[in-house]
Amino acid sequence: MISNDDRPGHHARRRLQAEAAVQTNAAQSPQNPEALWPQAAQEVLHELRVHQIELVMQNEELQQAQLQLDAARARYFELYDQAPVGYVSVSRQGRILQTNRIAGTLLGMARNMLVGRRFSRFVLKEDQDLFYLNQKQVIESGRPQAFELRMVKTNGTSCWTRLEATAAQDPEDASVIHIVLLDISERKRSDATILDNAERISALSRRLIEVQEEERSNLARELHDEIGQVLTAVRLNLKVMERQDTQGTHRDSLERALNVVEQAIGQVRGLSLRLRPPVLDDLGLVPALRWLVLQQTGLHGLSIRVEANSDDIELSREVASACYRIAQEALTNAMRHAAAAGVMIRVVRGADSVAVSVRDDGGGFDLSGERGRAGFGLLGMAERAKLAGGTLRVWSEPGKGTEVRAEFGLGA
């Protein structure tokens, strides 16, 4: 630790120590010829001896302080040099003034060779504008700047690096920029892998929904065209048998069989329509939603209405399916969980988008709770909207109902 020997208190203590040393030396001397000197000469001699001892003590303090300073400087340079990140000091003109070992490794050049070179020569050409912009902001504002760009080693290879730049002044009061360099190439590779995996998952999810809709259409068609025709043929045969049974021998059995077949035909027709209503493909979204509401009329005691500013909205099959399924799921949630008296479905066509909203006047829920985070099909609706190029928003509050709104671009 450097001695603050210019402080009055410290100087006084050193003066007292010197005075004591002079008195001790005088007491130990067998003869004292200075005692015969004039008083003024004795005082001058005494002051000289005290001052001499003070100088010796001050010199010892300065030597100790120098040793402490050297030790502190050595610890600083050890920490600076062995730091796990790169340190570079750059002049206002952009030339490297000082680096540590890691910076040399990161830039692919011995640090003594780096000094004096322009730092920007190690920045990828495409990222140099970003570097100069942040350099300017650091110098002009004095505020630290953190940014990411690609550095180029002397062997031509590049690596992603995070830079944290701070403005400072050197001993000559010149502007200096201290830059911390952190190699983030591995993180960037991980981010790219995660992004690639996310895109793959998104593509697979989109394809899964497409396949589901295709399978729904195929199954609905098979139910209607094949099983429906078979059941219709069975009903016709039973009708023939009923007419042929003139004696009424099998009347009750035939009536029961006809009732079962009629129920089966109705169930198959209903299932076929629920899987993929033909009206969605034939007439469009709004007529399909009106048909959906018609099927639910009277159920659960709900009043359900559909409003649209246009019945003729041309949409891609993907977007039309997403709008219909989201409205269907939201309506199902309102009927099952909201304890609502009324539900309003709105379809609004804008200049370049279409929005479908389903609002109920039920109990609502806390969006920050478990139900808001993951329950009741919200995640499925959000994912379906995202995969079709749209967005989904949900508003809800306990006691104030719920609104689900999906929006898609007409060019999607």
Q: What is the pLDDT of residues 23-51, one digit of tens each?
A: 776 666 655 666 556 777 767 777 777 78
Q: What is the CATH number of domain 279-409?
A: 3.30.565.10
Task: Please give the Cα distance from 407 to 312 (Å, whole number).
Answer: 17
pLDDT averaged over every residue in the chain: 82
CA–CA dist 218, 224 (Å, integer): 10
pLDDT of the residue at 74:
60
10 Å CB burial of residue 265 (0-12, 13-18, 19+) is middle
CB 145 within 8 A of CB 137: yes
Model's pTM, two decimal places?
A: 0.54
pLDDT of residue 159: 92
Given this model, what pLDDT does residue 280 score? 87
Give CA–CA dist 179/387, Å, rounded: 42
Q: What's the CATH number for 83-183?
A: 3.30.450.20
Give 3-state DSSP helix, strand, coil % of the chain, rounded to 5: 60, 20, 20
Question: Measured between alpha carbons, how far is 68 from 74 in angstroms, rounded to an integer?
Answer: 10
Q: What is the pLDDT along the chain (412 residues), one digit of tens a residue?
A: 444 445 567 677 777 776 777 677 666 665 566 655 677 776 777 777 778 877 888 888 887 777 777 666 666 566 667 778 889 999 988 899 988 888 888 888 888 889 999 999 999 999 999 999 999 999 888 899 999 999 998 888 999 999 999 998 876 767 899 999 999 999 999 998 898 888 888 788 778 877 877 787 778 777 767 777 788 888 888 888 888 877 777 788 888 888 888 888 888 777 776 777 888 888 899 999 998 888 877 666 678 899 999 888 889 888 999 999 999 989 888 888 777 888 999 999 988 899 999 999 888 888 776 555 555 578 888 888 988 889 999 998 888 889 999 999 986 4
Per-domain residue ranges for the chain?
8-81, 83-183, 188-276, 279-409
Q: Do domains 83-183 and 279-409 have the same CATH topology?
A: no
